[in-house]
Amino acid sequence: MARRKKASEAENHERWLISYADFITLLFAFFVVMFASSQTDKNKAQAVSDSVKRALEGQKMASLISAVLGGSIDNKGQGNAMMRGPGGAQKSAEEKQSQKLAELLPSLNVLSEELKKEIAEGKIQINMEPRGLVVSFTQAALFPSGEDAISPDAYDALGKVAQSIEKIPNPVRLEGHTDSMPINTPRFRSNWELSAARSISLMELFSDKYGVPRERMSISGYADTSPVASNDTEEGRAKNRRVDIVILNEQGMVGEPAKPPPDQNPGLPAKH
């Protein structure tokens, strides 16, 4: 009598759980990597903020730039910063912004120290803005009310700014601002004319007295269109009457006209 064959084992219908578990594990790993990458960006932004703060406190610039860029500085002043996490050497937006800040940090540090007295007296404010380094003189520190003749008392502070300008190749924009009170004198018919005239006076002083090349400078008159305080109070109007010396960085130069090649002089007629 033939032996009865053993009953075949029951088929396993739960093998799909293995593939599903592998998929969930990979998905979890993906989100962990994405989260770690986002935390790196936040840390980089914090490093920029901390570096600017330390610059104002007088820390050495080599270590500041190293901290901002995330790498060491070699003897050529170049960092070895690499973006951490996915992307390898590709720079993040925070790293690019930190490089723009580092470009003018030495000038910020020097001017903050040399103009400490004027800053404490409220005559000057120095700020790092996205467009560059802004040195803001109150109207009272530079000009008599309603005039465009620069007071000789301001020459010392302006000379220190001119020295910083000479040490870097960045272009400079001189911006005149007024309060909202109308002006109508034999010399100036409006605040537009007054703000532009003050910018021109500052440009001529930088060029004639301190030797700053005129082709590096541009002038702007904004009248009362760019206030930094309310024009409803005398204190606010005093803050709005100012001249800003803007040492432009790469971002600030985006809106500037293109410069002609060095071997061309736009003041001479073309040869035929």
| CA 33 remoteness from chain centre | 31
Residue 20: the pLDDT is 75
**DSSP secondary structure, 143-175, as one string:** --TT--PPPGGGHHHHHHHHHHHHTS---EEEE
Better pLDDT: 158 or 253: 158
Structural domains present in the chain: 19-99 (no CATH), 115-248 (3.30.1330.60)
**Against a cut of 0.75, is the pTM above it?**
no
Average pLDDT over residues 12-31: 73
**240 contacts: CB under 8 Å, gap ≥ 6:** 177, 178, 179, 180, 224, 227, 228, 229, 231
Average pLDDT over residues 44-63: 50
pLDDT digits 0-9 by tens, 147-199: 999 999 999 999 999 999 998 889 999 999 999 999 999 999 999 999 999 99
pLDDT digits 0-9 by tens, 125-144: 999 998 899 999 999 999 99
Model confidence at 11, pLDDT cuts 50, 70, 90, reads: low
Lowest mean pLDDT among 36-40, 173-177, 218-222, 243-247: 36-40
pLDDT digits 0-9 by tens, 90-128: 555 556 555 555 678 888 888 999 999 999 999 999 999
